[in-house]
Amino acid sequence: MNENLFASFIAPTILGLPAAVLIILFPPLLIPTSKYLINNRLITTQQWLIKLTSKQMMTMHNTKGRTWSLMLVSLIIFIATTNLLGLLPHSFTPTTQLSMNLAMAIPLWAGAVIMGFRSKIKNALAHFLPQGTPTPLIPMLVIIETISLLIQPMALAVRLTANITAGHLLMHLIGSATLAMSTINLPSTLIIFTILILLTILEIAVALIQAYVFTLLVSLYLHDST
């Protein structure tokens, strides 16, 4: 019970060296691949899910936007596997670190914005000033739209960090309460443990949904720029 509540969010080290890079590179190793002509059920299901997700995100894009499909599919698989691995006991979730999420969000957002200014500069500039804006409000609206554009990567990163961190903290608190109540009141322990199981199922869903939301928002930013 004396364990630090935020201990699980501290970046781990091995012999004094940061191990976060190894943890980040670990999820891709869990994705199965096949060297045979006929795939097994696991790989077939995996390919079906990837195709379904890719089709959903790429339907609204033109030919230029669909060139990002491989990167977006890789992004959603990486975030989803990282979030799911973080639910294992005594594990570390890189997506609880705001710095890592910003490192994913800023380059993707910047790439989409730069592509928009290069290919459709008139449309990109038109977003800063809606049509029919009264003349006295033009400077204020330009400032507001500029701020809203610049805050997009921060919103992406904070949304992912907050949702994953909040779920892990809640699981930690309920798990500690279950352990403490086990020596006091058995019926209450069973009730709290049932809540913990339901929360774990919810966190699995949140881990997948947040990966989808992050990638979908990047896809929408890309759609606005292409």
**Backbone φ and ψ of 13, nearest 5°:** -130, 150
Per-residue pLDDT at 15 exceeds 60: yes
- What are 137-162's pLDDT values in tens digits? 778 888 888 888 889 899 999 999 99
pLDDT of residue 226: 73
61 or 162, higher pLDDT: 162
Per-residue pLDDT at 46 exceeds 90: no
Answer for the pair 115, 62: CB distance below 8 angstroms, yes or no: no
Q: Where are the domains of the chain?
A: 7-225
Q: What is the mean pLDDT of the chain?
A: 82
What separation in angstroms does the CA of 36 have from each of 39, 40, 189? Answer: 6, 9, 49
Neighbouring-strand partners of residue 14: 17
Per-residue pLDDT at 92 exceeds 70: yes
Task: Give the separation between CA 183 and CA 94, rounded to whole angstroms.
Answer: 34
Q: Which residue has the tokens 């890189």?
A: 94
Task: Give the separation between CA 130 and CA 28, rounded to whole angstroms.
Answer: 43
Per-residue pLDDT at 1 exceeds 50: no
- What are 170-210's pLDDT values in tens digits? 888 888 888 888 888 888 888 888 988 999 999 999 999 99
Q: Which residue has the tokens 């979030």?
A: 83
**Backbone φ and ψ of 14, nearest 5°:** -125, 115
Nearest to 76 by CA among 223, 216, 206: 216
- The helix (run of H) or strand (run of E) holding residue 50 is helix 41-58
- What are 96-139's pLDDT values in tens digits? 888 889 999 999 999 888 888 887 777 777 777 777 777 787 78
pTM over 0.85: no
Three-state DSSP at 175 gives helix
76 or 33, higher pLDDT: 76
